Amino acid sequence: MKKQAADPQPAGFCTCLCLAATTGDIIFQISRSSQSKAIQLATHSDYSHTGMLVIRNKKPYVFEAVGPVKYTPLKQWIAHGEKGKYVVRRVEGGLSVEQQQKTGANGKTLSR
């Protein structure tokens, strides 16, 4: 994966999207939840939570699994993280239009 955002801080966090967010970008953060540290230890990761950015009706959401899988508005998702910091990465080349449509970016609701 290519790194999308600059890393101005040693821990590799960026407090802004340095490039335009695109459906399919992967976003990482350290959650403020009580399980956060356990997840980091179990996964050997600097991060405890991740999701996929999805642009729906021209607004950014994070498609995430927190109990039910759901779309969370990006600003709300960022607010749940430690100090509002996060990292965004993009698979080289990004997703094709067809792949983006399959993510639910077209505004369709999640099926159960």
Question: pLDDT tens digit string along 56-102?
Answer: 888 999 998 888 888 999 999 999 888 888 889 888 888 888 888 88
Number of domains in the chain: 1
Share of the chain above pLDDT 90, in %: 19
112 within some domain: no
Specify if 65 maps to a domain: yes
pLDDT over 80 (residue 18):
no
What pairs with residue 96 in β-bridges? none
Could you tell me if residue 111 is inside a domain? no
pTM: 0.72
Q: What pLDDT score does 14 carry?
A: 46
CA distances to 7, 22, 87, 92 from 2, rounded to whole Å, are 13, 13, 12, 6
The C-alpha atoms of residue 14 and residue 88 are separated, in whole angstroms, by 8
Give me the domain span that covers residue 91: 2-105
